[in-house]
Amino acid sequence: MKNILKKIADVLIGPYEIYAIFRSGQTDELPPGVREVTAAEILASPYETVRAISHYDAPDALFFGAFENELLASACCVWHGATYTRLRGFIDLPADAAKLVQINTAEEMQGKHLARKLIKGATFLLKRKGFKHVYARVWRGHIGSEKAFKYAGWQKAYTILKGTIWRSPFRISF
């Protein structure tokens, strides 16, 4: 049934994308092994997947990392303010909010719930910096990412459907 609905959508609206927008919840503790990191620390990680987060470096970018056996095994980048608006601007971001734009975990470290731990820790540290909410965009149906954000206390805020009908772009939030 799901495949039939997808084929109908492909015919009616052409290529489309569906995203779940998650918003941070309350977090009252910093998990062990999570802290703010620098771009230099990310580049020094022994894991290529983690080093790839350095591509998101920009003015006002904030980086956070989760360590396993003293190695930076998972990292994320957060943008806010003018940097987010200029470089991405996919959602309307309030002035007191930030957007987690990418999170990567070393392949060798997957299955240890480091992303969950990192999301929770980054949220805690961002709230300490004065951000009221943190947002993230997740491809609809990316179950691993959805679980990681839910485990960290985040909730789905809304869904965005983006596509083109007869060469006219559209975007719907619901």
Question: Structural domains in the chain?
Answer: 14-173 (3.40.630.30)
pLDDT at 5 over 90: no
Q: What number is the average pLDDT over the span 67-78?
A: 97
What is the Rg, in whole angstroms, of the alpha carbon atoms belonging to the chain? 17
User: For residue 150, how far is the Cα from the chain centroid?
Assistant: 12
Q: What is the DSSP string of 10-73?
A: HHHH-SEEEEEEEE------PPTTEEEE-HHHHHT-S-HHHHGGGGG--TT-EEEEEEETTEEE
109: helix, coil or strand? helix
Q: Report pLDDT for 13.
A: 67
Check pLDDT > 80 for residue 168: yes
Q: In the predicted model, is pLDDT for residue 99 greater than 70?
A: yes
Mean pLDDT of 130-145: 93
**What is the per-residue pLDDT for 1?**
74
Task: Read off the pTM.
Answer: 0.89
The model's pLDDT over 23-50, given as tens digits with 9 standing for 90+, comes to 999 888 999 999 999 999 999 999 999 9
pLDDT score at 169: 87
